[in-house]
Amino acid sequence: MMSSGKKKLRVGVLYGGRSGEHEISLQSAASVIKNLDTSRYDILPIGIDKQGRWHVGSMKLIQDSPKTLSIAQDGPEMALPSYPVSKSEGSLDVIFPIMHGPLCEDGTIQGLLELSELPYVGSGVLASAVGMDKDVAKRLARDSGIPVVPYVVAKKGQWLKDPKKVGALVEKEIGFPCFVKPSNMGSSVGVHKVKSTTDLAPALSDAFKYDSKVLIEKAIAAREIEVSVLENAKEGEPPLVSIPGEIAPTHEFYSYEAKYLDENGAHLMIPAKLDAKQVEQAQKIARDVFTALECEGMARVDMFLDKNSGKFYLNEINTLPGFTQISMYPKLWEASGVPYKELLNRLIELALERHRRKQDLSREYLP
Ligand SMILES: Nc1ncnc2c1ncn2[C@@H]1O[C@H](COP(=O)(O)OP(=O)(O)OP(=O)(O)O)[C@@H](O)[C@H]1O
Ligand SMILES: [Mg+2]
């Protein structure tokens, strides 16, 4: 913890990015910046535009647009990942990447930050990449005894070569209704509920627009339960879990439209109406997935609770969850006794601690 009088930490907030969730990131970043304690931190907003260029901004961005941060167009462009931009500025102490989706939370940015030896908030390269790939994440989870909904994988090559064979596999192994979804995506982009054989081909060709690997999953009548996870500051101790929340979409499923185009697309319920045993089951899955995927910092774990069987399944893990003040991740923490500002402090402290631990590792093998 910092005591007063100590030098302020320079926090670079990295936001925007080249994914479909660019706009969500602008809102998440605005909330994060507004809530970072300015008595402890000096904040530098660094916006990545949709073309992938990095723009260094200033706190004026927040004054101009408090709800959704814009990207500075007049400031210096940053040649990645070199910082300081000019010698007169100090270097950054920690980066808070607050971007979602491919090229943002999939380990690519994290790799760049590793190379530049900057401490950063959230999971490292491995967990970020694995968390982004729904197929690999589920395989690892399954290996740890975490229940996942039955699914098969189709590769674009197989599909183009022999679509009938893929169709037959789906009918035999999964049946209808099923969900078709790109393995690496987010925001329900390319996700389809397929009710019969005739709808399968169009759903698959759309999903293959976004990734060369697609999951076809048994559709279940599910309640959607989410738990926020935070790394334990005590090394080696199990991660901390929030109370569960629930998202009840008002559409047939939690589609892109329900998420972003319809203000009343879903009801958020905190806490989720669950009995004590169900709360424990949901929290156990959340803890186990975070650990199995070797996550660090934070993650939001999304689960299905089968309305028919009463069984929980892991749906997916988000290593950089939405972070606006009304987003599920911080709201669940707030309801579990960790206010938004405190959450930011803890995440930054965890980032610095991991960096210290890494630097303590032996480099004796170097000549
Ligand atoms: N097997 C399933 N059974 C029932 N509903 C499902 C299933 N798979 C997906 N859905 C519905 O589709 C939505 C989107 O699916 P999923 O969460 O897998 O995609 P996403 O694009 O990764 O979303 P995110 O932005 O959370 O990463 C879910 O929230 C749920 O409403
Ligand atoms: Mg989802």
- Is 37 one of the annotated active-site residues of the chain? no
- Is 21 one of the annotated active-site residues of the chain? yes
Whole-structure pTM value: 0.93
Q: What is the pLDDT of residue 87?
A: 46
Q: Which of 75-79, 198-202, 361-365 has the highest mean pLDDT?
A: 198-202
**191: CA distance to ligand 1 center in Å?**
7
In the set 31, 93, 316, 354, the catalytic residue is: 316
Q: Which DSSP string corresponds to 243-261?
A: --EEEEESSSSS-HIIIII
Mean pLDDT of 242-252: 95
H or E element, residue 137: helix 134-143
CATH class of the structural domain 151-218: alpha beta
Question: pLDDT (tens digit, 9 = 90+) per residue, 277-317?
Answer: 999 999 999 999 999 999 999 999 999 999 999 999 999 99
| Percentage with pLDDT > 90 across the chain | 74
Q: Is the pLDDT of residue 2 over 80?
A: no
Question: pLDDT (tens digit, 9 = 90+) per residue, 59-69?
Answer: 888 888 888 88
Question: pLDDT (tens digit, 9 = 90+) per residue, 16-59?
Answer: 998 888 988 999 999 999 999 999 999 999 999 998 888 888 88
Residue 340 phi/psi, 5° resolution? -50, -50
CA distance 119 to 223: 37
- Is 365 one of the annotated active-site residues of the chain? no
Lowest model confidence (mean pLDDT) among 58-72, 101-115, 336-350: 58-72
Pocket flag, ligand 1, residue 246 (CB < 6 Å): no
In the set 187, 242, 255, 327, the catalytic residue is: 187
Q: Where are the domains of the chain?
A: 9-120, 131-147+220-357, 151-218
Pocket flag, ligand 1, residue 106 (CB < 6 Å): no
**67: CA distance to ligand 1 center in Å?**
27
User: In CATH terms, are 9-120 and 131-147+220-357 the same topology?
Assistant: no
Pocket flag, ligand 1, residue 69 (CB < 6 Å): no
What would be the CATH architecture of the domain defined by 9-120?
Answer: 3-Layer(aba) Sandwich (3.40)
Choosing from 104, 188, 306 the residue with most ligand 1 atoms within 8 A of its CB, the one to mutate for a pocket test is 188
Residues in the chain: 367
Mean pLDDT of 226-253: 96
Superfamily of domain 131-147+220-357: ATP-grasp fold, B domain (3.30.470.20)
Residue 244, preceding bond cis, omega within 30 degrees? no
Q: Is the pLDDT of residue 124 over 70?
A: yes
Q: What is the DSSP letter of 120?
A: B
- Is 302 one of the annotated active-site residues of the chain? yes
Q: In terms of DSSP bridges, do strands 77-78 and 54-56 run parallel, antiparallel, or are they unpaired?
A: antiparallel
Q: Is the pLDDT of residue 205 over 80?
A: yes
Pocket flag, ligand 1, residue 258 (CB < 6 Å): no
- Is 260 one of the annotated active-site residues of the chain? yes
Q: Is the pLDDT of residue 125 over 90?
A: yes
**80: CA distance to ligand 2 center in Å?**
31
